Amino acid sequence: MEPADLAGRRTGKRTTRFTGLMRSGLPSSPSQIDTAVEPLIHEHRRFYPRADVDVLRRAFAVAELYHRGQTRKSGAPYVTHPLAVAILLAQMGVDTATLAAALLHDTVEDTDLTSGQIHADFGEEVAVLVDGVTKLDGSKWGEGAEAETFRKMILAAADDLRVFVIKLADRVHNLRTLGFHPKRSKRERIARQSMELLVPFAERLGIYVFKRELEDVAFATLQPEAEQAIAAAMEATAEDRAAALRPLVARLEKALADANLRAEVVVRDRHRYSIYQDHRRNPVQPTDALQPGEVSRITVLVDGTPEECYVALGVVHGVWRPLPGQMKDFIALPKYNMYRSLHTSVVTGAGTLELAIRTPSMHRIADYGIVSQIQDAATASRREARQAARRPELEWLRNLLAWQAHAPAADFLASLRVDLHGSGIVSFTPSGEVVPLPRGATAVDFAYAIDTDLGHTAIGAVANGRLVQMTAALENGQVVEILTGPGSGPADEWLDAARTGRARVEIQQWLAGRRNEAAGQAGRRLVAGALTEAGVDLLDLETDGAALTAARELEYHDLESLYSAVAAGTVTLTDLTARLLADAPRSNIGDTGQAPNA
């Protein structure tokens, strides 16, 4: 959602049920609604010719009614934003329920429409999606609103990944109109958040069309001079690069045809941010003569089986010499985001070129990721679309769910950024289990990624046969074994060494528990000493329940919390001792054989 001009936003509570509004007629005429929503319906019917598009008309009518009087920073009516988001998703082939939710995605957050009304008039599926992308109220949640909103979105996406899909489309359109924000600081904050949090989510879901656009617009906002230099250099060398690539493409097409492969050779320029990443040490200047391999990528689309992709790879290597160690097989071993292709780098007359080889279905997944799978399922049935949007087997999502509930808001976003960082390593257990970790991860992160108890009992690690400390950084491809021992536990320095959110949260909880236990023991000694001077044994009061009763009266759920409060000074020793002595059976006083102080 982009902050709107809120003047006149709430001109009065709309408490009428929407079904009643539909029966009595909406303020906008049906012809106006049809005209506005026609581009959306046109795109949707390309994928779903028999879709119930009346749902989309109704959803747009509700969005227009409730957003009426709101405007974008550009001055356009606010409803143009959810409509643009829905059209963006329709062009990708998402299902009808997702489009309805996209049209309504800001209504609960910015108007008087309630989730209950959406549920009643559009069903549970649409209501859940809208709720998943609705921000929490900053006036109620304060500085933690952003963190808690992302936490809420992750929990919703665990049940339905379409929540992420809508959120990403929402942010793509907001970035397209980011220039209308008058404050540079606000533009940069939105761009930075997009780069740090939403780009990784787009990559995790395999939606590279969103990832590329989010990165380029955020890059242009945060580093405009560098982005403009790359754009100028790309434009200046476009004709020369095209001329150099034409004969190479023709040669490859002929070789593929000679091998009886039906294949299309596609040349596509890389997006500007990826070029920037390759030239960090030597930034691109506007006058630089960028080579074809620096800007362009060649994709071979094999109209056949995955096995024929390997045949095409052999053809490519027969035409040009491959660079050693650069071939990657993501068909046999797909990426975590379902991406499948063969990658190789070859030496040509125009320099080094990178190629990807895949089938058309792999190509669609390479661009649209989870959306492609949901779209394929939705053509069968609505139920299968919902099932395709539930992916509990996704390792990265399981990892987030494992630790997010225990992370305080202040630490949550920082840990989330680390866990989502695209640049990572792969390590292995001795049995061959793959353990993906962020770059810079240590044996501490590895242990907790396997199991919490393994982390808590770890005393060291063996990486590729060599003994290493738990705080040692791991390298890509290492086989790691965790050594354990009785009576061990996380050390304070582990917290500094941990990179993953799960490891940090688990260590923080363990250390906090240990501190609470130590404080509880210190507090108990203070209370026991004071009672002993009064001739009362604290153990007797704990045994007969008098001590626990006192704890509950003071709103502490157990004795350790009470004693910790005594050690911290939250509960005074004098007050607690007086309370316990007042409740103590008279027979307990003096049992220690010591006389009470006068």
Positions marked catalytic: 109-110
Three-state SS at 522: helix
* Three-class SS state of 15: coil
**CA-wise closest residue to 123 among 104, 138, 106:** 104
The whole-angstrom separation of Cα 307 and Cα 284 is 39
Give 3-state DSSP helix, strand, coil % of the chain, rounded to 5: 60, 10, 30
Q: How many of the other CB atoms lie within 10 Å of CB of 71? A: 18
- CA distances, 104 to each of 55, 128, 157, 364 (Å): 12, 11, 17, 27
Beta carbons of 152 and 136 less than 8 angstroms apart? yes
Q: 354 in helix, strand or coil?
A: strand
Q: What stretch of H or E contains 346?
A: strand 342-348
β-sheet bridge partners, residue 181: none
Give the DSSP H/E element, type plus range, for residue 356. strand 351-358
Q: In what order do the strands lie in the sheet with 466-468?
A: 466-468, 458-463, 480-484
| C-alpha Rg value of the chain to the nearest Å | 31
Residue type, 444: V
The answer to whether 471 and 493 have CB atoms below 8 angstroms apart is: yes
Give which of 371, 307, 408 is closest to 165, Cα–Cα.
371
Give 11-15's long-range contacts (Cβ < 8 A, gap of 24+): 11/69, 13/112, 14/65, 14/66, 14/111, 14/112, 14/113, 15/112
